[in-house]
Amino acid sequence: MTGDSARRSARGTALPERRAGGGLYLFRVAGIRIHVDRSWILIFLLVLWSLSLGYLPHAEPDRSALAYWVAGLAATLLFFCSILAHELAHSLMALRAGIPIPAITLFLFGGVSHMSEEPRKPGAELRIAVAGPLMSFALAALFWLLHGAMRGIAVPLVATGLSYLAWVNTALGVFNLLPGLPLDGGRILRAVVWWRTGSLARATRLAADMGKGLALGLMLLGALQLFQGALLGGMWILFIGMFLRGMAQASYRNFMLRQMLGEMTLSDVMIRDVVTVDADLSVAALIDDYFLGHGFRGFPVVEDGATVGVVSLTDARRVPSSERKRTTVRDCMAPVEPARCIDADATLTEAMERMTGQNVERLLVLRGGALVGMITLSGLARVVEMRALLEEGEPRS
């Protein structure tokens, strides 16, 4: 499932709530960070439990408990790999189209590839969208062929696990082709409407509305199953519907956010007169003279005229009260690293993606390696809200 991260609404505006690439970091593939949302742990355990104690014993009785758990674990890991392959197919196609993909996050109901920008043409959008389902169908065919091979050499338990994987990849591909955001079918619909009308905004709105309609249908189906006594299945479908509805809304809000910010650069809105703190300052003095004195939640840290880190209120709070007079800012700051810096000529959209992708709330703005300002996530939120208010025009009497 390809979609953009969830957003927090504020008077019709939005900023990222789900951190792009948030969760547990696993590894990198083609420069793309792979993360697992903590909700994935739940789905992993549920799939493992259902396979090892339900599906496999029912399909292949009279095996040992250990055999069921080993086969179940192998099938669950391959299920995980199938979801990842689906998202990687989207991401690699996006990279071919020149769209940076900083991270992929796997979560409760699938995965999301975090695209740094919208596709520039309907054709690119279409190719990126279809890549995922095609990968799922290719995996389904592969697992089905392996299933037949395992049956042929009398390894029925392994063959049963492979047939499950063939079925689940087929279901994943078909489900993602439903025509509504954030599903791949919604992106295909958006590409077609964009090509026919020439309006990406109109296409995105239609695909998002279709996604909300599909989500509502799933929620009603889940509620109906609950009333009929199918508690587990009904709750599962209801949760999927609620999740898809939120993601459909987030997809449209994210698009509008990009349109709203346009090509504004950090130089237009960054904090220019940055208050810095010395690395040798005590945490107690930092709290009294800076956090309480200035009212800011974070400051760049300097040493011998060079910027060496960033310290936030959260960093200071981690130091026990009894240790704050003896602890220096250097001891609790976050050191300067590329993830916390950005060029002054970067756009606001790039800054937003950097902060959400790296899970940081403020960035040091550099020009030629020298500190010229700072941008914060809360500051971006204020810019978005002001732009939205200005676009609304004067209030009617």
| pLDDT block averages, 10 residues each, the chain of length 397 | 35 35 75 83 86 88 89 92 92 89 77 76 92 94 90 78 92 90 90 90 88 90 84 80 81 72 72 88 93 87 86 92 93 85 80 72 81 81 70 48
Give the CA distances from residue 159 to residues 66, 73, 138, 166, 274, in Å, rounded to whole numbers and listed in that order.
17, 14, 18, 10, 63
Residue 271 and residue 257 share a domain: no
Domain-located, residue 397 = no
Residue 214 and residue 110 share a domain: yes
- Give the pLDDT of residue 69: 93
Domain-located, residue 1 = no
pTM above 0.85, yes or no: no
Compute the residue count for the chain. Answer: 397
Domain-located, residue 2 = no
Domain span at residue 217? 7-261
Residue 65 and residue 199 share a domain: yes
Residue 271 and residue 227 share a domain: no
Residue 307 and residue 223 share a domain: no
- Give the pLDDT of residue 397: 40
- Count of domains forming the chain: 2
Q: Is 323 a catalytic residue?
A: no
Of the listed 60, 87, 350, 392, which one is catalytic? 87
Domain-located, residue 208 = yes
Bridge partners for 374 per DSSP: 271, 364
Residue 116 and residue 43 share a domain: yes
SS3 helix, strand, coil % of the chain, rounded to 5? 60, 15, 25
Neighbours of 326 (CB within 10 A): 11
Residue 242 and residue 154 share a domain: yes
CB 348 within 8 A of CB 265: yes
Residue 88 and residue 69 share a domain: yes
Residue 64 and residue 151 share a domain: yes
How far, in Å, CA of 309 to CA of 314, rounded?
Answer: 14
Domain boundary among 261, 279, 294: 261
Residue 331 and residue 300 share a domain: yes
Domain boundary among 261, 284, 312: 261
- Give the pLDDT of residue 16: 35
Domain-located, residue 220 = yes
CATH number of residue 321's parent domain? 3.10.580.10
Residue 276 and residue 229 share a domain: no
Residue 226 and residue 346 share a domain: no
